[in-house]
Amino acid sequence: GAVVSQHPSRVICKSGTSVKIECRSLDFQATTMFWYRQFPKQSLMLMATSNEGSKATYEQGVEKDKFLINHASLTLSTLTVTSAHPEDSSFYICSARAPPAGGRHEQYFGPGTRLTVT
């Protein structure tokens, strides 16, 4: 099946610094990528939908200036957590939408990035 990678898998940063997380579709072109945030034992919360070459669409309550999303190519989207604080510590997961295949499963998830802000 299609493969989506995320880098880094784990990152620890100091409060006030910025962190960039990359999401790549390795064997297909993804016109749409999604960024989720997940707290322990909780569901995935969609943060934003990222379309190649255009501005991301953020979900209500997600700060655009804090979570910068760039979808520069059909295989790469980045999430930058700016001026990170301990409350930004979380598990961040991206997914990429493959070309439609009869309406069935076409969204592939990356392995996630665990961010810890100290």
Partner 1 sequence: AQKITQTQPGMFVQEKEAVTLDCTYDTSDPSYGLFWYKQPSSGEMIFLIYQGSYDQQNATEGRYSLNFQKARKSANLVISASQLGDSAMYFCAMREAVSSNTGKLIFGQGTTLQVKP
Q: Which residues bind partner 1 (CB under 8 A)?
A: 32, 34, 41-44, 46, 49, 51, 57, 91, 93, 95, 97, 103-109, 111-112, 114
Least distance in angstroms from the C-beta of 91 to partner 1? 6
Least distance in angstroms from the C-beta of 54 to partner 1? 12
Nearer to partner 1, 17 or 39 (CB): 39
Nearer to partner 1, 48 or 117 (CB): 48
Is residue 107 within a helix (H) or strand (E), and if so which, with residue range? strand 107-109
8 upstream amide cis, omega within 30 of 0: yes
User: For residue 79, which of 5, 23, 14 has the smallest C-alpha distance?
Assistant: 23
Least distance in angstroms from the C-beta of 18 to partner 1? 23
Nearer to partner 1, 43 or 86 (CB): 43
User: For residue 19, which of 85, 71, 75 has the smallest C-alpha distance?
Assistant: 85
Question: Using an 8 Å Cβ cutoff, are 88 and 61 in contact?
Answer: no
